[in-house]
Structure 1
Amino acid sequence: MRSLYRLHHQLVLTRPWLTLALFAIVLVIASLKLHQFRLDASAESLVLENDSALEDYRTVNQRFGASDDFLVVTYTPHEDLFTREAIDTLRNLRNELAELEPVGSTNSILNVPLLHSPDLTLDTVESEILTLDEDDVPLDKARESLLSNPLYPNMLISEDATTTAIQVNLPTPQEYFDLLFRRNELREQERAGELNEQQAEELEQVSAEFTALLEKLETERTHTIADVRGILDQYRDRGEIHLGGVPMIASDMIRFIQNDLSTFGIGVLIFLLLTLVVIFRRWQWVVVPILCCGFTVWLVAGYLGWTQWPVTVISSNFVSLLLIMTLSLTIHLMVRYREYQQDFPGQDQKQHLRDTLSAMIKPCFYMALTTMVAFGSLTFSGIRPVIDFGWMMTLGLALAFAISFLIFPVLVSLLPEPAPRRSESGSLPLTDAFARFTEHFGGTVLIGSAILAALCIAGMARLSVENSFIDYFKSDTEIHQGMLVVDRKLGGTTPLDIVITDLQRPDDSRSDPFVSDCDPFVDDCEGGDLRDTWFTWQKLERLEQVHDYLDGLPETGKVTSITTTLRLLADVNGGEPLDAMQVAFVPAFLPDDLKPILLTPYINEEHEQARISVRLIDSLPDLKRDELLTEIRTHLTGQLELKEEQLLFTGMTVMYNNMLQSLFDSQIRTLGIVFLAIALMFLVLFRSLKLALIGLAPNLLAAGSVLGLMGWLGIPLDMMTITVAAITVGIAVDDTIHYIHRFREEFSKDRDYVATMHRCHQSIGRAMSYTTVTIIIGFSILVLSNFLPTIYFGLFTGFAMFMALMGALMLLPRLILVVKPFGPQDGS
């Protein structure tokens, strides 16, 4: 170890220019791939690791011709919707949108079949279909037809006929799905250890092609959405217009990430700059730490570019966090350097640096290591973006430590030595006040901590994970406003697909359906009779029961299925339900241009599946997704006697719920790993079980405080706030390590616990206060985000850091005074 120290000192202090030149080469190499640094807001970035629901979702969409690749433009005219002026405005708007090159097609009340002609029957469906586009339909008749149609209300038109929607379809090329499924197939083989060398090369090539195609599509979508917004802006004076849809949400999420990266990065940098100026008042102590912070972010961003590792909305905080954590390390070095300047004014700059590095490398190493453990614990969460965030920060903290002990001393040695701080008798009154309070009111500190711990436990018992995706965004954002209109007037926002597989198919599909007296169109025949189709009365009646049950739930908005189609055809049939023979021939007499609307989205005979599409009202305050899904499954398998293996629940609702429900387990798992790892490191570092337990106490209280406060305020856990407790422990433990390390060092001077506490508060307590204030100020920048979980993350992490500082300056020293872990003091 000593030889390593000597090598470090020789390289850094003896040859600083060489070290700086080598580091410059590393920076240049990192910068070569900075242009490949990319952002990701796709469905894959928001689901559990290896969640099969994502594959189910894609498979179901392909089988039934369903897709979320469309924008929704809602239009609420100032006047009545069914006036010639409003309809003309809607048509002009639709036409301009349809002319955009990436738009495949549009759907609106203008082009959908009205199915209201008096001559319309099942036999004349194809010839008697009318539309507002092609026929001179009286607007009052069109209104009546649209509202009486079981398909359109709460989908293309609100039930009060004040709001309508244009669906702008943005087809995804088949190449995307071909590459996606091939990549996933090869990944499965890789996980199973069945990948040969040729397949490994193919996986690398397919992954690169898929990434390139994805970037191209994302760029095209971004431009398309910008063009759509430009068109909408020309019509906003004629009514209330909002834009929604999964592509818009994904595009805006990327825009939010970009804004967060730039806003937080620049904002944090400015605040840190001001903090350094106010605290240290020497230009060297401003330039050096800012450069170290910038270098850390540069290297991490370069690495992400080289590996093409995308940043998600969760990991978009990595810039601000790395700036703050790197600065925290450098502040500890600067404070200790200034102490040596004041205590040993006769020594030269290199000696001050040598003493500073020797004194601080051990506590800073454990400080960085514990924080890396905290972020590393996030990799056990099971949530893809949280896992990525954990790895990114673990890498970043390793680089931050390396830069702090390599580049910081190099820069300090190459710059003119900063003038020593003025002697400050008793200095920093705040930390001294904490020391006096802890000395004279120790009982109050312990009792107050116990009461706070009880409140934390009670608050944590109130934690939940149920939250609304709409409420993730500020109310003035277009995402929030558009989703709210769709949610309240157009049938709900969050899609849920329930796919029912027909398990009654005969093994021999060629068997003669008429070999028995059983009528397969009416009766549920046993044996080898005709059951290789969904279009029997018995099966469709069962699907109708499922449809009606789902439609009756207060949490559901629009429900569509083959039942919707049959009811529509019943209206065409003069209001009479279709008989068994008519039901059997529905696929035959439906016109080809109506099948993609009325048939194929709901029935797939090839795979023997029927799909029921449900949209949930996401803005309902009492919406509990997990309970709802459990209730639906229980009802279908119990009351309606469907088999468990017949049912497949998929869609964004399922993936989002899987992620939410994993948060509780994830929180317990990550916190358990953090505290276990930190306890072990405390044992190694302090070689004392007493000190290890004492050191954990303020960190447990800090983590419990933030979770308890969330529980009492009724703020649920989400993808962002789940990381707060683990990160808090990792950062807060830094104060514990530095304080105990300094206490042991100071205690050896006079073996007086109280005097040592006062000296520690005025030395390391000062650095702890500076770093905590810096961190709180840095995290406060996150309130500028449009993503509410990011705002909560910033506020709660700042609060947790404040609580950690209070614990380190009051509870920790009080426990040391009570337990006396360093042995008896002199004279006792």
Structure 2
Amino acid sequence: MLNSILNFLTKKPLWSLLAFLVIIGSSFFQIQHFSLDASSESLSLDGDNNLELYFDTQKTFGSDESLVISYTAKKGTVLSKEQLTYLSSLRDDLLNINGVSSVISILDVSLFQSPPLSLVELASDVYTIDNGKADQNLVAKEFKTSPLYANNIISADLKTTALLIPLATDDPREIINDDSLKQLIGEIRTTMSQYQNNAKLYLGGVPMIRNDVIDFIKSDLIIFSLAVVLAMSLMLSLFFHKVRWVLMPIAISIIGALFMTGLISSIGWKVTVISANFFSLLLVMTLSVIIHLVVRYREILNQQTGMSNDEITRRTLNEMLRPCLYTVVTTIAAFASLTTSHVQPVIDFGLMMSIGVTVAFILSFVSFALVMTLFPTSQTSHKTEKFYVLQKLAIATDKGGKNIILGIALVSAIAIFGLSKISVENSFINYFKKDTEIYQGLNFIDKELGGTIPLEIVFNDLASAYWADSSLREDFHDVHQYLDSIPSIGKVLSIDTFIQVLKESNDGKTPNGFLLMLGKNNMPEFAKSQVLKPHISDETDQIRIVARIKETTTDLDRNQLIIDVKKELVERFYFSEDEFYFTGTFSLYNNLLQSLFSSQVKTIFTVFIIIFMLFLIVFRSISIALIAVIPNIIPSLIILGLMGLARIPLDIMTITIAAIAIGIGIDNAIHYISRFKSELLVDSDFEASMYRAHNSIGVSMFYTAATVAIGFLVLILSNFIPSIYFGIFMAIAMLSAVFVNLTLLPKLLIFFKPEMN
């Protein structure tokens, strides 16, 4: 059927071109709906209920969807008259921005010790710097010692303060859309820039991280896709020396990637951090097929006389159809293996790329047939292209096979050692270069204002008991103190913070009975919203503790921290495990990280099983299937080993590289074995067949690997660290895959001489 379609394309090129343009155009029209996603859902695990717990907690106690501006005075403290004037002006300018409904700062927060208020006074009025009721002579002391504000909205040296801009809605799932958030953050940053002469300002907060990650992804998609195209164009120019052999592959690759972008957009599939490089990958997948077609076309053109352009085109398509189809199937298997992961965005990426590879295959053959029919090439001189590198690899494989095997075995052993060192521990701040604004802002807020990423502990069915049971209140006080003592935890806020505020207003005595209920029930609403409502809910009978984690802590081990805290809550404070749960951004991210290693093992195991079975079907030989699969374990092994040796942790992007490397390697193996079989039919000489295969299909493999590797290396210029690692390791994957398939694979074929009928 496929042969019939290809024959039709070459016989009816104009009608085929019209249909082609209509299909492509309809997809391009959908690109306007393309969108990116860096929300909490993009950190979710398939079947994990922690995301629902997170949303429920946010709805009960309030959302963490807030932007944070750190403000550091260049002269004196932030409590000086001059700086308070600047702060007031900044706050008012922020409030004038569309989308900013409130700003919480040291000007607005309730003060309880400036002057010291009794419990009765505490319940009757609100004292703030802004309303003029606070005693300015006592404000500094309160901010330094307050259990609520110290190391939270103001630093210990009083030189830095935070302004909070809440973005929460009634439903935490209804977050501000990406375009509105981008505009809002842009206006906030413009406003901040007007005060840089008076203070040093940084923007932070989970929404800012999400916005800047999306900006980095967009930058990589646009700028680096163009850079990849340029790099690949230069490589094709170097290899083919003709404009048509550069323009055609590049144009078809771009059309394929844009077509898939439109297809993704039409079905509402959002691109996440994990799938951010799908465009570059589709360029590569399409380019790989086209290069194989071009090289084979040139071979036939140089070897045959008297054949018309249409005949050469049809022969090229017919000869390359089967091996390219096999490579598509195995590549789909590699990407489909990602669906065994527990990480939902990884699953989506696997499905997305499976469809993309299919599109790349169909589009490559259709486009090549149309272009070569409508724009036939001129006849060239009959010469065989020879390459020094490929000739050397062929000689080394033939004469020095044992050394190659020993060398690869040594590299594999080192890689296995490195694999034993691999970890999954990472942090948001390490996703960005140190000279970027986002890194500097996160680093500063983390160190000066009590941490950045919240870890929440929610206790069920204890809120009502808390007010009646003094011993339970003591337990929560001890838990609060314990969390506060952990080096990697910055500011801790809980219902005990409220108790400590009341204690200060009760001559240092912990309130009980009537005084406790007086403080609870009669405190002004504004003060309640700051110290009470975020931490206890009578409606759901829950208590929440929020501990902000210092992401900059050396050797921070998220999972171990949660394990240790859980153990202490059970063994030291005698809470049962079903009485509490962990949630918050920190917990969501930790769950994701912990799933990565098991997901990596599962995807690699799955892809090799699937590909081995496919090889059995394709080549109908267990020996050939084993010979093809074994060398292609090495590229993924090298990548994971290098990551372990370099202490580069698995993350949400690098987890996909091993499966992609296997798919690329298997593609090379299929092309090489298919051509080797054809050459073996000539004289049944395994060594001679190897030399001829190197100088034919080896050319395509070499061109593809070199071109794509250079293209991916462009990503090292990104500001997003996972993209840099992705580019580096994809380049290594391409080069190592072509090396093992031009050395170890043919050596195994020569040594074992499997039946290849």
Task: Report the TM-score range of the alignment, normalised by the length of the smaller protein.
Answer: over 0.9
CA distance in 2 between partners of 1:51 and 1:473 (Å): 28
- Structure 1, residues 45-93: CA drift from partner, whole Å, max 9, x if none? 22212321111111111111x2122110101111111322222222211
Shift of 1:679: 0.7
The residue aligned with 1:763 is 696
* Percent identity of equivalent pairs: 39
Q: In structure 2, what residue type is equivalent to 1:629?
A: I
- The yes-or-no answer on 1:79 pairing with 2:75 is yes
CA distance in 2 between partners of 1:552 and 1:117 (Å): 28
C-alpha contact (below 8 Å) 1:74/1:164 kept by paired residues: yes
Q: 1:6 to 1:240 in 2, by over 3 A?
A: closer
C-alpha contact (below 8 Å) 1:570/1:576 kept by paired residues: yes
The residue aligned with 1:294 is 254
Q: In structure 2, what residue type is equivalent to 1:666?
A: S
The residue aligned with 1:460 is 419
1:741-820 → structure 2 map (5 Å cutoff): 741-820=674-753
The residue aligned with 2:441 is 482
| Higher mean C-alpha displacement, 319-328 vs 290-299 | 290-299
C-alpha contact (below 8 Å) 1:38/1:305 kept by paired residues: yes
Q: How many residues align?
A: 756
- The yes-or-no answer on 1:600 pairing with 2:533 is yes
The residue aligned with 2:33 is 36
Q: 1:231 to 1:119 in 2, by over 3 A?
A: closer
| Higher mean C-alpha displacement, 334-343 vs 294-303 | 294-303
The residue aligned with 1:192 is none
Structure 1 counterpart of 2:392, from 418, 433, 446: 433
- The yes-or-no answer on 1:320 pairing with 2:280 is yes
CA distance in 1 between partners of 2:18 and 2:515 (Å): 83
1:489-504 → structure 2 map (5 Å cutoff): 489-502=448-461
The residue aligned with 1:449 is 408
C-alpha contact (below 8 Å) 1:455/1:708 kept by paired residues: yes
Shift of 1:171: 3.5
The residue aligned with 2:208 is 248
Q: 1:403 to 1:682 in 2, by over 3 A?
A: same
The residue aligned with 1:131 is 128
CA distance in 2 between partners of 1:582 and 1:570 (Å): 10
CA distance in 2 between partners of 1:727 and 1:559 (Å): 43
Structure 1 counterpart of 2:65, from 50, 69, 83: 69
Q: In structure 1, what residue type is equivalent to 2:67?
A: L
Shift of 1:170: 2.4
Shift of 1:29: 1.9
**Secondary structure of 2:120's aligned partner:** coil
**Secondary structure of 1:771's aligned partner:** helix
CA distance in 2 between partners of 1:317 and 1:272 (Å): 16
1:548-567 → structure 2 map (5 Å cutoff): 548-567=481-500
Q: In structure 2, what residue type is equivalent to 1:745?
A: S
1:532-551 → structure 2 map (5 Å cutoff): 534-551=467-484
Structure 2 counterpart of 1:619, from 552, 560, 567: 552
| Higher mean C-alpha displacement, 51-60 vs 80-89 | 80-89
The residue aligned with 1:19 is 16
1:340-419 → structure 2 map (5 Å cutoff): 340-419=300-379
**Secondary structure of 2:467's aligned partner:** coil
- Structure 1, residues 710-760: CA drift from partner, whole Å, max 9, x if none? 001110000111001000000111111111111111111112222211111
- The yes-or-no answer on 1:89 pairing with 2:120 is no
Cα RMSD (Å): 1.9
Q: 1:23 to 1:396 in 2, by over 3 A?
A: same
| TM norm structure 2 | 0.97
CA distance in 2 between partners of 1:165 and 1:728 (Å): 46
- The yes-or-no answer on 1:711 pairing with 2:644 is yes
| Higher mean C-alpha displacement, 628-637 vs 4-13 | 4-13
Shift of 1:781: 2.0
Unaligned runs of 5+ in 2: none
| Higher mean C-alpha displacement, 728-737 vs 263-272 | 263-272
- Structure 1, residues 609-661: CA drift from partner, whole Å, max 9, x if none? 11111111111121111111111111111111111111111101111011101
C-alpha contact (below 8 Å) 1:338/1:421 kept by paired residues: no
C-alpha contact (below 8 Å) 2:416/2:641 kept by paired residues: yes
Q: 1:565 to 1:418 in 2, by over 3 A?
A: farther
**Secondary structure of 2:317's aligned partner:** helix
C-alpha contact (below 8 Å) 2:111/2:134 kept by paired residues: no
The residue aligned with 1:261 is 221
CA distance in 2 between partners of 1:763 and 1:772 (Å): 15
| Higher mean C-alpha displacement, 262-271 vs 113-122 | 113-122
The residue aligned with 1:692 is 625
Structure 1 counterpart of 2:508, from 575, 579, 590: 575
Shift of 1:237: 2.1
CA distance in 2 between partners of 1:490 and 1:805 (Å): 51
Unaligned runs of 5+ in 1: 181-209, 506-530
| TM norm structure 1 | 0.89
1:191-202 → structure 2 map (5 Å cutoff): none
Q: In structure 2, what residue type is equivalent to 1:746?
A: E
The residue aligned with 2:271 is 311
Shift of 1:557: 0.7
CA distance in 2 between partners of 1:56 and 1:422 (Å): 70
**Secondary structure of 2:545's aligned partner:** strand
Q: 1:101 to 1:823 in 2, by over 3 A?
A: closer
C-alpha contact (below 8 Å) 1:284/1:415 kept by paired residues: no
1:195-210 → structure 2 map (5 Å cutoff): none
Shift of 1:286: 2.0
Shift of 1:218: 2.8
C-alpha contact (below 8 Å) 1:282/1:418 kept by paired residues: no
Structure 1 counterpart of 2:564, from 625, 631, 640: 631
- The yes-or-no answer on 1:48 pairing with 2:9 is no
The residue aligned with 1:680 is 613
C-alpha contact (below 8 Å) 1:547/1:563 kept by paired residues: yes
CA distance in 2 between partners of 1:456 and 1:418 (Å): 49
Shift of 1:822: 3.6
The residue aligned with 1:527 is none
| Higher mean C-alpha displacement, 365-374 vs 274-283 | 274-283
